[in-house]
Copies of this chain bind each other. A is one copy, B any other.
């Protein structure tokens, strides 16, 4: 059904297998910093969900960064909030604003009404996965994704973005029973959502715990990580004899690196506050690591970008260990690329990562 994979460096690094260079992709690589993305978005009525729900447009924008840059993976163009939207909460994006839910989940009745949505309501996502996978013709693997149960709950309870998470934390501390019920439904919904993406053609899946890092120690383990584990335990990890790597990214998750690595994913994503050398020493024998350049580095001139990229690669070090085995590093930013990034700066970054990471593999 799909063309054979030509560049498997991303999948190999996820599984801690040898690669000729450090594979890289960028969170939010199909996005507003690219003029061709903005052009496609205008065709879709300048609407984010207009892009995401149209299989042709979603395919087009997913492939745009691959045509410009020698990236080693593609990621489905979609939003982390498609699942609660399919639960009937009414997702919308105001002009220049963040996401909003028409029916936030703020009382016991609303919590009790939640259920794992019919995946037919998310057919547009799965159709996009299959369409993108076909359009890739095996150039690079395709990553599917979802928000984590906790991160979805933040938006569902707050009704949109928040700078203090007051409503969701008030529920968490006042009615932990309600919070656990939301998270259970979310985890089961995310698991079936990701499994259906895998069935549709996703070759790896990533769980974005964008707001795990706002939780207190203790609360993170109970209300975020436990439900990420519940997703991981239900995921299909193999398809057609091929391992489907699972990546967990917790923004601000540095304090809990060991516990996150123990949760059962193949790869742990790291933000830029994490010392990559220490992280590898601690958990690099268990999981591959993805990250972790500060996206703001891309505002500096190319020479500075290249110097900072080399620092990240050198912090991880030679992927081949002294014992001959390999640890896995996938180069990425520590968060999504900014819409204000000059596109030619990404060219400099990709070139530096591929060049220097080949040098790192040369015999000493």
Contacts and interface: CB of A to CB of B under 8 A. Distances in A.
27 contacts: A164-B296, A164-B338, A166-B296, A169-B294, A169-B297, A170-B300, A173-B296, A173-B308, A174-B299, A174-B301, A174-B304, A215-B273, A216-B272, A216-B273, A216-B293, A216-B294, A216-B297, A217-B272, A217-B273, A217-B276, A218-B275, A218-B311, A254-B254, A254-B255, A255-B273, A255-B274, A255-B275
A165 interface: yes
Given A173-B296, A299-B166, A299-B174, A217 B274 contact: yes
Interface of A: 164-166, 169-170, 173-174, 213, 215-220, 252, 254-255, 272-276, 292-294, 296-297, 299-301, 304-305, 308, 311, 334, 338, 340
Given A216-B273, A297-B173, A340 B166 contact: yes
Contacts of A296: 164-166, 169-170, 173
Given A174-B304, A217-B275, A218-B275, 8 more contacts: A170-B296, A213-B273, A215-B294, A216-B293, A216-B334, A218-B311, A254-B254, A255-B275
Nearest to A219: B294
A299 B216 contact: no
B294 A273 contact: no
Contacts of A255: 254-255, 273-275
Contacts of A272: 215-217
A174 B305 CA distance: 9
A225 to B, nearest CB: 13
A220 B273 contact: yes
A277 to B, nearest CB: 9
A317 to B, nearest CB: 15
A220 B272 CA distance: 10
A165 to B, nearest CB: 7
Nearest to A270: B217
A163 to B, nearest CB: 8
Contacts of A297: 169, 173, 216
What 7 A-B pairs have minimum CB-CB distances, sorted nearest first? A173-B300, A169-B296, A216-B272, A170-B299, A216-B294, A174-B300, A254-B255
Most buried by B among A217, A254, A255, A274: A217
A338 B252 CA distance: 21
Contact of A299 (B173, B218, B219, B276): B173
A213 B252 CA distance: 9
